[in-house]
């Protein structure tokens, strides 16, 4: 699994003033949870870029005063106005302690439904799992080869050794739909126009042989 290194310094001062001072120097406050003790530190904002601005699941090795902590990203905070990184929460990986992580899905194969003219719709990009650090992987492979038209792959269909998937089992991960059907789903079909009234029937013609009214008939 890909690992990035972050060199940090222990925090010795806390409070709003100390935190503002760090951020003014382009340093980001951070904390490591999950180990023998909580570790508060800071590091340059650029040191977190490869960990934060990526969809990949990675290990962060944080080096602080001669000690190394293997961690995964837990949470982030950004400034509401400037959108700069304000704070980072990391979870330390301890050998015999399970952790909860969000791991990207990697779809493999070509769906038979796509070969038949359908369109693949991916509905989830990652799964939330619980596992020992040794069982964590960069991604979770989901084979879509046998996914047919109008078929679905759901969370319950994903089986991973020694890993518990925490998402609701019936949630669809991917499906294949007909292109025409997809268009119908994206835009509701317009309501049909009301049927036009049938034209009134013409007045019946006089029957053949009927006597026509006499011209100039005498008035009574």
Q: Please report, in tens digits, the pLDDT of each residue of the chain (220 residues total).
A: 899 999 999 998 888 899 989 888 999 999 999 998 999 999 999 999 999 999 899 999 999 999 999 999 999 999 889 899 999 999 999 989 999 999 999 999 999 999 988 999 999 999 999 999 999 999 999 999 999 999 999 999 999 999 999 999 999 999 999 877 666 666 665 555 555 555 544 444 444 444 444 444 444 4
Strands 3-10 and 164-165, by their bridges, are unpaired
Asked if 84 and 52 count as a contact pair (C-beta separation under 8 A), the reply is no
Report CA dihedral (128, 133, 138, 141) to the nearest 10 degrees: -60
At residue 141, φ and ψ (nearest 5 deg) are -80, 130
**Dist. CA 49–CA 56, nearest whole Å:** 12
Taking CA atoms, 75 is separated from 80, 115, 175, 179, in Å, by 16, 40, 30, 39
Three-class DSSP category at 60 = strand
Q: What is the pTM of this model?
A: 0.74
**Dist. CA 102–CA 125, nearest whole Å:** 10
**Structure-token pair, residue 156:** 């319950």
Three-class DSSP category at 63 = strand
């Amino acid at each position: 699994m890909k690992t990035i290194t972050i060199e940090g310094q222990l925090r010795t001062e806390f409070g709003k003033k100390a935190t503002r001072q760090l951020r003014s120097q382009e340093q980001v406050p951070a904390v490591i949870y999950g180990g023998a003790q909580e570790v508060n530190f800071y590091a340059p904002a650029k040191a977190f870029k490869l960990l934060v601005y990526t969809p990949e699941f990675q290990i962060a090795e944080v080096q602080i005063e001669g000690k190394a902590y293997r961690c995964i990203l837990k949470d982030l905070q950004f400034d509401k106005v400037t959108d700069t990184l304000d704070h980072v929460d990391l979870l330390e990986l301890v050998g015999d302690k399970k952790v909860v992580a969000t791991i990207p899905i990697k779809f493999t194969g070509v769906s038979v439904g796509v070969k038949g003219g359908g369109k693949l719709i991916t509905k989830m990009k990652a799964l939330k799992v619980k596992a020992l650090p040794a069982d964590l992987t960069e991604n979770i492979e989901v084979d879509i080869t046998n996914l047919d038209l109008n078929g679905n792959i759901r969370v319950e269909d994903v089986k991973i050794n020694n890993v518990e998937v925490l998402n609701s089992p019936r949630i669809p991960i991917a499906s294949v739909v007909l292109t025409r059907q997809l268009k119908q789903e994206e835009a509701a079909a317009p309501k049909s126009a009301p049927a036009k009234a049938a034209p009134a029937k013409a007045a019946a013609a006089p029957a053949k042989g009927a006597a026509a009214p006499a011209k100039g008939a005498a008035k009574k």
